[in-house]
Structure 1
Amino acid sequence: MQPKGWHSRGYLPHFDSTETVQFVTFRLADSLPAHIAKALQDRDHVLPRLERELDAGLGACWLKRPDIASMVEDALIHFDGARYRLLGWCIMPNHVHVVIEIVDEHSLTGIVGSWKSFTAKRANSQIGRSGPFWHPDYFDRFMRDEGHLARTVVYAEHNPVKAGLVAEAFNWRWSSARFRKT
């Protein structure tokens, strides 16, 4: 799939370009009640509220299960170095943050679609359920400079601390922070 540049698949604008560093957040299908998702859809500058709502841990939180979280992490790592460079990630109970640099002619849409399709099928099988696993859309933001990138990786890796799940980021099992412990 070729990169599309700026495009929209509904209400979220996306930027898809090669050799671009991107911050991506995707969430479970049931992570937000419909009325909150609708309110967020109709407003500009909703990221802080979206983050608060996701960190509240709503929905089934399938990613709390070690087998599911590990499988999602393995999927993220699988094409590291081939389709993208994985710069940081964090798998929360009901959403995932990833910072990647896209390489060659791969597209962000194709990469995220591949992650979500593969992991949804495998997770539904492991859980013994059917139906939507991931919310159909995702949030992305391209990194404007090295400072923006550094702040974003710290944000992603410290999300479990902010959500009150661990005291130190490196203690969260499903995050790149555990590899940065010094």
Structure 2
Amino acid sequence: MGWRGGAACATRARVEAKLYYRRNLPHWYPRGAPLFITWRLFGSLPRTVLELLERNKKLSEGKRFAVADAELDRASTGPQWLKQPRVAALVVETLRRGQEMKAFELHAFVVMANHVHVLLTPKLDVVRILRGIKRRSAADANRALGRGGKRFWAEESFDHWCRSEAEAARCQAYIERNPVKAGLVARAEEWPWSSARNTGL
């Protein structure tokens, strides 16, 4: 499936950039660049994995993501609220609402049992966008689950800006094929909570 993005990807030569903070460190991304973002449910990674990542701080962001994402796909521990169709639907609704309100351009998404992958091009501040998505979806999900104001999402998220349209296409494919990789479906479009199910987003 080809890249469906409407915005041009940023290149290394582009100097206009936006600063935000992750892990209390300054983090830059070029304006107009598609961002691959992953966030997870609170308590969805076992302590052994968290301790492993803490001990190996020299691991690249990519390797840290690979370790965490593989564990999340196994879904061997922690909450799996997103397996419930009504909860997954609330997350998808929040993403669609953000696009309708022009906070971002949504290129791809998938809601798994305990985490979410998205590819989007921000139109507003990234921190503000992610905070809004997580806050709204957490409130709606907790209400549906009868959990009151309990913590829903883990605070930390992973993000990576795409340097080219080819990289954006790879991220899109990674996102939409995640349920296939996890052994949940045979074809990406069979997963109901994914942009692969409806490429019109």
Same fold? TM cut 0.5: yes
Equivalences, count: 176
Structure 2 regions of 5+ residues with no counterpart?
A: 1-16
Percent of matched pairs sharing the same residue: 36
Instruction: Give me the CA root mean square deviation.
Output: 2.0
The answer to whether structure 1 residue 9 and structure 2 residue 17 are counterparts is no
Q: CA, structure 1 residues 8+180, in 2 after alignment: closer, same or farther (shift >3 Å)? A: closer
> How far apart, in 1, do the equivalents of 2:47 and 2:65 lie?
17
Selected match of 1:97 from 117, 122, 127:
117
Matched, 1:87 2:107: yes
The amino acid across from 1:113 in the alignment is: R
SS in 1 for 2:117: strand
Distance 1:110 1:30 in 2: 23
CA distance in 2, matches of 1:19, 1:142: 10
Task: Pick the aligned partner of 1:156 from 147, 150, 175.
Answer: 175
> Residue type matched to 2:133 in 1?
W
Alignment-derived partner of residue 73 in structure 2: 55
Measure the CA separation in 1 of the matches of 2:150 and 2:30.
31
Give the TM-score taking structure 1 as reference length.
0.89
Worse-superposed segment, 85-94 or 39-48: 39-48
Larger Rg: 2
- Equivalents in 2 of 1:31, 1:14: separation in Å? 25
Distance 1:68 1:17 in 2: 33
Query: When the two structures are superposed, what TM-score results if normalisation uses the length of structure 2?
Result: 0.81
For residues 95-117 of structure 1, the C-alpha deviation after alignment (integer angstroms, 9 at most, x for no partner) is 000000112xx111111100111
Return the alpha-carbon distance in structure 2 between the equivalents of residues 10 and 56 of structure 1: 29
* 3-state secondary structure, aligned to 1:46: helix
Q: Is the contact between residue 16 and residue 108 of structure 1 (CA under 8 Å) also seen in structure 2?
A: no
